[in-house]
Amino acid sequence: MGILRSHLPAPPPIFTDMGPKRSAVAEEPSLFPNARRAEPLASRMRPKTLDEFVGQAHLLGQGKPLRVLIEQGAPGSLIFWGPPGSGKTTLAHLVARATGRTFVPFSAVSEGVPRIREIVLDAKEQLAAGGPESVLFVDEIHRLNKAQQDSLLPPAEDGTISLIGATTENPSFEVIGALLSRTRVFVLEPLSPADLLVLIDRALRDRERGLGELDLQAHPEALAFIADEADGDARRALSVLEASAAHAGAGGRITVDLAREAMQKRFARYDKAGEEHYNLLSAYHKSLRGSDPQGALYWMARMIEGGEDPMTLFRRAIAMAAEDVGLADPNALVIAVAARDAFHMLGPPEGYLPLAEMTIYLATAPKSNSAKEALGEALEAARNSPAAPVPLHIRNAPTPLMKALGYGAGYRYAHDSPTAYLPQEYLPEQLRGASFYVPGGMGYEKKVAERLAWWAQQKDAQSHAAEPPKRAEEGE
């Protein structure tokens, strides 16, 4: 299985599933007496050929992988992965039509294994009678459980059906490995505003399927507003256009204000349990690590607006304070924990203030991962030397026997020195001289480095003082 991504600017396909409500235009009998006009605009404007399809040039341009499969007439089993409104359903219809196959839809939300068996049986009978092959289109394939996905393996493998699945979730996590190995995954991207403008203009001019019969006047700024605010979702763009047309009426004008009213609230695309959750959380952490408070605040706000539990942000920030700021600014961890506690006390929305303050502090703090590196080095040494004995002089000696055995003998109490430092060895013999922690050069660690250097000098001076004098060579 190969995952193919676009390296070109932008676009995905066209509309797929329709939104939960029909627009006013679709329900306005005086505008469209024709029964065909009862369909939502996005459904009516579905492309009928690959050449009508807008966007996804990385998949459907001449010589591109998906187009070649379709033109060869043997697409095999496919999975289309992309955001809502990127054209997954439309592409499945076009694949079936272009290859002369029967299109059979299946809903992962409302149907189960018995329906899959029924579809497979019908497909076998159709083939036996000399009929065309079938495309089984599974919308929201990520909603199928393992048993349901397993039931798709035999018919997809023996060629009884061509399976096409559509998903908004990362198939690496949501589709079983056996099914992934039998399919090719194609990644659809959101449409660019320029591509959406092409679709909007087409819908305004088309007198058979679109809004052409209404003779609408549309301000270019209004159309640009719809294209920008649709967030790459062609279905959303056409639904807003349709609602705007209903407001304007035949011969009316679509203005920015009218389009804004039709657009209503713009919802962020965010799934608290899916891949987008991890993408945004990663963006937040990397912005903090990269000392970019603007990016960190934006991703923080995106997650809050998407309904994320603020504790998820606090957990990531507390880990980041220890991992990436570390001893360059020890206050970072204190502030992160305090901000979490303040949120517990205040709750939203006031609690978002300490969250924002913490975010800015962590992003602008000096950075050091020396503590993380030191932990890794120490754990590795512990694994490699799991039985190294504790030196006798730093062992505790609570009994006479242990004292007689030399436990604690020679231990030097640090506070007997005015500087609270007396050189002695604390590592086992086989690890003498090891350095797990090496301070960074930023913030508070500069002072730590100075202390370590001074202590090293004291230790070195003591070891030299303890060395016996060298015997003079003959002739000296």
pLDDT single digits (tens) 216-225? 999 999 999 9
- Higher-confidence position of 93 and 3: 93
Boundaries of every domain in the chain:
57-187, 193-263, 275-364, 391-461
Give strand ranges (E) for 108-218. 134-139, 161-167, 184-187, 217-218
| Residue 15 pLDDT exceeds 90 | no
Burial of 379 (0-12, 13-18, 19+ CB in 10 A): exposed
| Residue 321 pLDDT exceeds 90 | yes
Predicted confidence band of residue 143 (pLDDT cuts 50, 70, 90): confident
* Mean per-residue pLDDT, 1-12: 38
Q: Which residue has the tokens 């908004």?
A: 168
Q: Looking at the domain covering 275-364, what would its CATH class be?
A: mainly alpha
* Mean per-residue pLDDT, 143-153: 86
Rounded to the nearest integer, the mean pLDDT of the chain is 83
Predicted confidence band of residue 433 (pLDDT cuts 50, 70, 90): confident
Report the DSSP beta bridge partners of residue 139: 107, 166
Predicted confidence band of residue 9 (pLDDT cuts 50, 70, 90): very low
The alpha helices in 99-138, defined as continuous H runs, are 113-128
One fold for both 275-364 and 391-461?
A: no
Predicted confidence band of residue 265 (pLDDT cuts 50, 70, 90): low
- pLDDT computed for residue 288 by the predictor: 95
- pLDDT computed for residue 266 by the predictor: 52
| Residue 179 pLDDT exceeds 90 | no
Name the nearest CA neighbour of 301 among 286, 280, 321, 316: 280
Distance CA 217, CA 252 (A): 6
Rounded-to-5 percentages of helix, strand, coil across the chain: 55, 5, 40
| Residue 473 pLDDT exceeds 50 | no
Let me know: does 270 contact 233? Beta carbons within 8 Å: no
Predicted confidence band of residue 35 (pLDDT cuts 50, 70, 90): very low
Let me know: does 242 contact 41? Beta carbons within 8 Å: yes
- Alpha-carbon distances, residue 114 vs 110, 126, 399 (angstroms): 12, 18, 76
The structure tokens listed for 58 are 């990385």
**3-state class (DSSP) for residue 187:** strand
Name the nearest CA neighbour of 80 among 142, 159, 147, 158: 142
| Residue 273 pLDDT exceeds 80 | no
* Mean per-residue pLDDT, 232-260: 89
Distance CA 63, CA 61 (A): 6
Distance CA 238, CA 203 (A): 8
Name the nearest CA neighbour of 210 among 221, 198, 200, 223: 200
- pLDDT computed for residue 272 by the predictor: 54
Per-residue pLDDT reduced to its tens digit, 416-425 = 889 898 899 9
- pLDDT computed for residue 26 by the predictor: 33
Q: In this structure, are strands 161-167 and 134-139 parallel, antiparallel, or unpaired?
A: parallel
> pTM for the whole thing?
0.57
Domain covering 57-187 in this structure, CATH number: 3.40.50.300
* Mean per-residue pLDDT, 112-133: 86
| Residue 296 pLDDT exceeds 70 | yes
- Alpha-carbon distances, residue 166 vs 10, 45, 139, 398 (angstroms): 20, 20, 5, 70
- Higher-confidence position of 246 and 471: 246
- pLDDT computed for residue 271 by the predictor: 56
* Mean per-residue pLDDT, 438-448: 90
Predicted confidence band of residue 363 (pLDDT cuts 50, 70, 90): very high
Q: Looking at the domain covering 391-461, what would its CATH class be?
A: mainly alpha
Predicted confidence band of residue 373 (pLDDT cuts 50, 70, 90): very high
| Residue 384 pLDDT exceeds 60 | yes
Let me know: does 286 contact 298? Beta carbons within 8 Å: no
Predicted confidence band of residue 6 (pLDDT cuts 50, 70, 90): very low
User: Yes or no: is domain 193-263 CATH 1.10.8.60?
Assistant: yes
- pLDDT computed for residue 469 by the predictor: 54
* Mean per-residue pLDDT, 316-341: 95
| Residue 471 pLDDT exceeds 70 | no
